Structure 1
Amino acid sequence: MGSSVGANIRQQRERLGWSQARLAREVCRAAGVAGEPVGRQEVSRWETGKRTPREWLPFLAAALAVPVDALTTPPAPAAPPLPTLADFLPAEDPLEPLSTRTGVRVGMGQVDDLQQRVHGLRLADDFLAGGDLMRPALRELRTAVRTFREQSYTETVGRQLLVQIGELAQIAGWIASDAGQHAEAERIYRLGLSAATQAGDKTLAGNLAGSLAYQLTNIGRTVEGLDLARAALDGAGPDAPPKARALYLDRVAWAHTKAGGTENAQHAMRALGEASEALSADSEESEPPAYLYWVDAGELQVMESRVYTELRRPLRAVPLLRDVLGRYDATHTRELALYLSWLAVAYADANEPEEAAATAERVLTLSADVASERTAERARVVLARLSEYADVPEVRAVLDSAA
């Protein structure tokens, strides 16, 4: 008991801002004794556990204005601090400029060229899968980092270079993750987070952290994914563009969903509602970064339907997915296959195996020629779910064809 009582005494003393000598005087005053039978050294012995106050406990409690139980009850363990984005930066700075630079000076023209190539990769990712884009994305990223480290430029140009490296790392990390290169994607995301942090771009840092959180969640590292998704939202702050906040909240919702349990399901639904509210605040004056061009009400609807599917609520998921897919661009083959995979699972959950089989067949056809580990994994999930209805002829045909 001594050590816990001592810790409590110290905690209560420091709460009042008292010195040990002041507490000794107040205890004597509370006890109504003359002189100082309790001095600073005695208080020090109590706090370190070398001696137990025993008969002085009531007077200690009175002096500190707390019940005796507050001094004798073991203190609750301190909650670990919430992670921040700084906890996810690389151990070493991969963007440390070399002490010896070349004579080549980089200007805003080269930065603008890089920006165009980064945007080109984003647009290509709408139509091509990670396996097709991995090489050019990594080549661009290596070149950009080498430019920042080895060449000379003004402070303004240097900051813009960091921003473009961060944006490039986000799309390159996404491409690597889609190709199933998760360790490489994590390294790239952390590099980008370092660049965005050094550039002071909180919105970009949040996007990179959220992208990594999404990957961690999807590969089973749910606790890390949830911590990082929350850190991305907190790090961006309340002044982040509405589209950015909506995206970060979507990722928080997904992380809670994958974490499982009733409480996490409630947190997920709350985050989805907040994401919708954030997006509704978007306006022409808000001017979100160009890389958030794809965040709209339809994308939030997709995430909502995925959450409902994961929570085994098909009556909510199926109408949402059918609505989205009814107006989706069929040229975006990978996303179409992914969204259909959620619909197939939702149909199975709704005890509609024939509809699930027909939808699964479309998933397998679309994903056959797509070099994406995401679609391959979703196809495996769909087939596993369908196997529960293997005695249904339509399902049996799909399972046999896949085998």
Structure 2
Amino acid sequence: MVNKKQNYSKQRLQEELSRLGNEIEELRMEREESKKNVLHFVQEADMARQDLQHAREQIAILSSKLNNSDHSPDLPSQSIDESQEHKQSQGDKILQLETLLSRATASLVEHEKAAEIHSRDAQNVIELTDQVKQLTTQLKDCQDTLGRLNESQKLIQDEFDQAKDENRVLRQTLKVEHERGERLESHWKSSENALEQAEIRVEVLKKEIEGLRQQQTWSPKIVQSDTSKIEALEKLQKALQQKYQMNLEQYSVLEQRLENEVKSHAHWKNAYEEKLKLLTLHQAREDEHNEMLDQSKVREQHLRTINKTLRDEIRKISRNRREVVNVEYLRNVILTFLEKKQTRSPSSQPYYNAPMWTKRTFTALFETRQHHKQIILS
């Protein structure tokens, strides 16, 4: 039952580790995407800033042209009308450029705010990713600890099985020695009873011999019979003495064996108590292992909750990132307006060249990208 629970908990930990690995990979991909978005917004901000600077230069050029036209000498009425119309058209263009400039400025400010927000979000994503790495490291430590605990439990289980086998052998040996001691004790008691009976019989025979010796009348037949009887009694006495001596020796041997058996019984009893202590220690270790397993489960649940919170935060950051205003459309409108203006009046703006300006813009964009790449690599 314990092995089934351990296998089930190990399987759950493996599934949780694979799930956390997938989530970490998703967080890493989201982090890379956040970096790319931040770089994209920074590049767009630089391009919008360049467009704004160029629009300001165009406004300054148009304003200087209007001022020059105001200070020009008197011309014929037709030239004056044409200059007024040209001035009015230039004023309208200036108003349009100023409107676009104000919009571009507002969009640039919003874009810079959005870029700053994205920078903070990217920093938050990096911090969250670091936290996820730390949690992954802690989870790996928990897994290593659990593996060591499983190995320790396996060793303890082997020791417990070995102790159980030794305990069973000790019980059997103790039972055999106990039965042997009981047999020796019964044999010793029977030998002691036989010895007492032999002593009593020897005393009776001694009394009979003394009684026969004290008789005063002796007949030859009686004397002969008594002599043979005395000889037989003496032989019986010697035999009983020898048997008594043998019983004494056997009694001493049995007593020595009984003493050895008592010592062996005490030794086996001490060994049994030590094995019982080992079994108690194994049970305490198993309880401690179960407690540590419960703690690892609680820690796993805590890590799972933190991971869920981090994923919610990253989703929230991604949702905020999708709501950022894109100024690409405004930049394209400004470029289209400037190109149309160049197409309509090329002679009025001798210092403006749309293709060269576009080339400078993309060159600056490329340099900006290279600069950001160097910053990221550093």
Return the TM-score normalized by structure 2. Answer: 0.17
Larger fraction in helix = 2
Return the TM-score normalized by structure 1. Answer: 0.16
Give 1 or 2 for the bigger CA radius of gyration. Answer: 2
Larger RCO: 1 or 2 (CA < 8 Å, sep 6+): 2
